[in-house]
Chain A
Amino acid sequence: MIIRRWIKLTDTSVSLNGKKIETESCGHALLTHLYRERNDYPKFFKMDALSKLGFIATELLLHDESQRFQPRGDRAVIFIGKSGSLADDTNYQKTIADKDNYFPSPSVFVYTLPNIVTGEVAIRNKYYGETCFHVIDELRADKIADIISDAFQDADTTSVVGGWLECSDEEHFEAYLFIVEASADGQAPEWNKDTIREIINNN
């Protein structure tokens, strides 16, 4: 398995395949800035912070892929995080906390599921393959490597868009996402815990 491309998007910086993308904003404003610069997909504004993060990170990762938006069933979307949907959970809780100011909304509630972001990416890119959100206690390169490597046991899956997707609140987040392919390619970095760790720490 190899890494075709990777993206690192945190609340303070962005880089694609190790090349820094210059930007002046940070936190939530960074996501909005990146959206305005590159996208026209108004559904973005309805999304919670986790979905915005996953959407922008995958847009950057996939933007110049050939045959993009052709429906496909061989690509999985697999995210691993620590906080899951906690940012939106906290927002939703505010809408029901006060009996005299009780306004639960389905459009907030739906994002209290961490896997909604995998659905957003699948809808955007017309991916009919596996989508899954995993939660572990902290960022662990070995678990990210295992979960995504194991996904190729599904014979239909030839490629995975996935990795670490973490958003503890609207201003604090990190995405370390990869396109992982089953193919062999001597030029591309190998998909394993050491490469993942190196990319997260250095590039």
Chain B
Amino acid sequence: MIVKISDNIYSPLGVTTKQNYLAVKAGKSMSRLYSDRWQMAEPFFASLFEEGDVDNAFSLLGDATDYTDFEKICILSASRAIADAGIDASASDVQFFISTTKGNVSLLDYRPEKISADRVLLGVAAKKISEYFGNANVPMVVSNACISGVCAQIMAMRSLMSRRCKYAVVIGADSQCRFIVSGFQSFKALSQKRCKPYDATREGLNLGEAAGTIIYTIKEKEDIHQEDWIAVKGAIRNDANHISGPSRTGEGSYRALMTALGNEQAENLAFINAHGTATLYNDEMESIAISRAGLSSVPVNSLKGYYGHTMGAAGIIEPILSMHSIDDGTVLGTLGFESSDVSHPLILSSHNTSTDKHAFMKLLSGFGGCNAAMLYKKGDAL
């Protein structure tokens, strides 16, 4: 079975998973309105690192001018997860997987002298990251829009199952820049206020930047500890409908949910940690898919109000927070949510509630009609 041995979240809310979890549990968010960054044509509401913070933190690890912001937050996050796991990341049985939507795209806008032009290529940037840790294996990058984080975990699980590696370091990150913000603005997808997932008055999403790392290994069932977290089953499915609009029937999300769920009973799930971007279409589509999958009785939450949409990081940091919340007997509230108007009713709450269940489902969807779901279970619930 595929077992998590450590994790880290590096975000504007904190540099450890614990700091992040406690901040989210307390209802905190660093999202705010930016009217001066990157000379954008109009202000935008986002969760960003304060200028200088990443470089200051990185100065303990190396020369900040040798790496881009995206590479630095990946290395900062992975460093802590690797230290916690107690593994030698340079070993030949360790494989790096990187989830990112836009990686170093900001280099097209501005490229510092010390950064070579080919770093805009995701495979080259990924090598810079894995080589920092002395790892000689070719790093694998998944760039599958907003579902990349779960896809990278699925790739890691498959490699572990094929015994191609013993440890999989899965890093998800995106760094915000003019390129991304202007694109989402052109789509009219951004809210100028804190996003309100599933809420009747939701106006769009907030962008965010963060990095997250999960390190997985493979264990026999008899070696699983009660406290272990297991990535049970993941699935990626397409809507085969539209490249930028979700399916009206939630086809891909429904199919991904059904496959990831397998024989698991809905009553065993503490919650579905949904995508919940707070765009009109996404949240409505998810309500349809969840209802079709027979999961309307399972509480749903979205963490976008705390972090914004962190793109390549979302599929990593949101499951990490979900695992830690279950360890704490908690279903995290959906910050920004007040009252729902999605067509298929969902069990949503703006505040934290308690749970004694030890499994949850992660759901994501993205442009290109892609959808992903993953079932996670704690060792004592197997």
Q: List residues of A whose CB falls within 8 A of some B CB.
A: 71, 73, 77, 82-86, 89-90, 92-93, 96-97, 99, 102, 104-106, 109-110, 112-116, 118-120, 122-123, 125-138, 140, 143, 146-147, 149-151, 153-154, 156
Contacts and interface: CB of A to CB of B under 8 A. Distances in A.
B41 to A, nearest CB: 6
Interface SS of chain A: mixed
Contacts of B105: 89, 112
Contacts of B236: 130-132, 154
Interface in B222-266: 235-244, 251-252, 255, 259
Contact of A113 (B158, B185, B187, B368): B368
Given A106-B186, A136-B138, A113 B123 contact: no
A96 B182 contact: yes
A177 B120 CA distance: 25
Given A115-B145, A130-B235, A143 B108 contact: no
A56 B120 CA distance: 26
Contact of A122 (B101, B187, B238): B238
Contact of B124 (A85, A110, A137): A137
B237 A129 contact: yes
Given A86-B121, A131-B238, A132-B144, A116 B243 contact: yes
Interface SS of chain B: mixed
B182 A104 contact: yes
Interface of B: 39, 41, 101-102, 105, 108-109, 120-124, 126-127, 138-145, 151, 155, 158-159, 161-162, 164, 178-179, 182-183, 185-187, 235-244, 251-252, 255, 259, 366-370
Given A106-B186, A122-B240, A83 B121 contact: yes
Given A92-B183, A119-B368, A129-B238, A136 B243 contact: no
A123 B243 contact: yes
A184 to B, nearest CB: 19
A14 B45 CA distance: 48
B126 A137 contact: yes
Given A92-B179, A130-B235, A133-B142, A147 B155 contact: yes
A77 B151 CA distance: 14
Contacts of B370: 115, 118-119, 131-132
Given A93-B109, A104-B183, A106-B244, A73 B39 contact: no
B369 A119 contact: yes
A93 B126 contact: no
B120 A86 contact: yes
Given A86-B121, A133-B144, A153-B158, A143 B138 contact: yes
B142 A132 contact: yes
Contacts of A105: 186
Nearest to B178: A96
Given A118-B144, A132-B144, 13 more contacts: A82-B123, A92-B179, A96-B178, A115-B370, A116-B367, A119-B238, A123-B240, A131-B370, A134-B140, A134-B141, A136-B141, A140-B138, A153-B161
Given A92-B179, A115-B370, A153-B158, A132 B121 contact: no
Given A119-B368, A119-B370, A137-B124, A126 B240 contact: yes
A134 B179 CA distance: 21
A130 B121 CA distance: 24
Nearest to A118: B368
B219 to A, nearest CB: 17
B369 A123 contact: yes
Contact of A130 (B108, B161, B186, B237): B237
Q: Give the interface centre of A83, A134, A143, A146 by most chain B CB atoms within 10 Å.
A: A134
